[in-house]
Amino acid sequence: MISVNGLRRFAGSLAAAAIAACGVGFSHAAEPAYPSHPVKVVVPSVPGGPIDAVSRLVSNKLSTRLGTSFIVENKPGGNVQIGTNYVAKSDPDGYTLLTTAPAHIINPLLYGKLSYDPVKDLTGVAMMAKVPLLLVVNGDLPIHSVPELIAWGKAHPDRLRYGSSGTGSSANLVGELFSMNAGLKLEHIPYKGAAAVLPDLLAGRLEIMIDTLQLFSPYIKAGKLRAIAFTGATRMPALPNVPTLAESGYPDVVANSWLAIVAPSKTPQSVIDKLARTVGDVLQEPDVRKQIADYGMEPDPMTPAQLNRYFDSESKRWSKVVKAGNIRVE
């Protein structure tokens, strides 16, 4: 027979267990599903460029799929450093994201010290698109192919100048990579932004430029610029008759710019995984794929782990080009 004290102890145990169970239930109920309020998507460039365009496209789709607003906020400057530093120092809760480009992993190779560490302070979430660059020449030059470019360059060694959006930009690195492999000395002329290069290129004060099809398309259609070769592994559907540099005899000159989403490094893995899955779903939508293709880009989904490995491999690859070309930012 159970004593009165025994019954009391048993009843107390049941009550404690019930309270504990309720506590666990209330604890889980108190954690709202992500996302429960608007998400800020920082774009470290000015409105209207390729990073901005794809960021807005994907953010709008994320808003629809996840039921809350993904709001794009432009924070340009410092070769993506201003926007990147802002996100690196933000709360790691998934409500402040960064869309970024190769400068994310190139900056540590160019600058003596950054205010953030892209490896320790930030982590990959999702790749959105890879962006094969396009090598073009002034439309008045007698150059229609890579072999003709090489021949013209050797005949005019003092007139092979290419402009880019700045020292250490993707275009600058690809230009150096091509120069090294082709045995040419291309003179790099840095500008403050890609759009600033165009007047000199169109006027014939520069011979070459390497950048996105999105930037060049209207001038190619008008005959003012001539597309010579893409830097990616395959031809682009928008200009199917334009070969790649690899096809043209330079298999080691395969390079893409890219657009990716990153987050503060201590962001919960469950949040990162949910974002990655949803971005992957967005990139399968036919209208998204078409829009990205119209920008001269290709959807390129990756898992967060794949993206971080890609960052690491690209950093190692371009560090060799930076050293060989003695590329520095003062």
Instruction: Give the chain's mean pLDDT.
Output: 88
Q: Provide the 3-class DSSP secondary structure of residue 304.
A: helix
Q: How many CA atoms lie within 13 A of 23 on its CB side?
A: 6
Beta-carbon contacts of residue 251 (< 8 Å; ≥ 6 apart): none
What is the Cβ-side half-sphere exposure of residue 142, based on CA atoms within 13 angstroms? 4
Burial class (CB in 10 A: 0-12, 13-18, 19+), 65: middle
What does the pLDDT look like over 109-144, one tens digit per residue? 998 789 999 999 999 999 999 988 999 999 999 999
Strands 187-190 vs 134-138: parallel, antiparallel or unpaired: unpaired
Q: Residue range 245-252: average pLDDT?
A: 93
Question: CB atoms < 10 A from the CB of 286, how many?
Answer: 7
Residue 237's pLDDT is: 84
Least confident interval from 252-266, 285-299, 304-318: 285-299
pLDDT(15) > 80: no
Q: What is the pLDDT of residue 17?
A: 46
Q: What is the pLDDT of residue 159?
A: 82
Choice between 241 and 297, residue whose per-residue pLDDT is larger: 241
Between 329 and 131, the higher pLDDT residue: 131
Structure-token match 């950054």, residue found: 114
Question: Over 70: is that where the pLDDT of 8 sits?
Answer: no
What is the pLDDT at residue 29? 45
**Which domains occur in the chain, in start order?**
39-130+257-324 (3.40.190.150), 134-230 (3.40.190.10)
Whole-number pLDDT of residue 36? 95
Q: Which amino acid is at 273?
A: D
Contact 192, 230 (CB under 8 A): no
pLDDT tens by residue, 17-67? 444 444 444 344 455 799 999 999 999 988 887 789 999 999 999 999 999
Percent of the chain residues topping a pLDDT of 70 = 90
pLDDT given at position 330: 64
What pTM did the predictor assign? 0.82
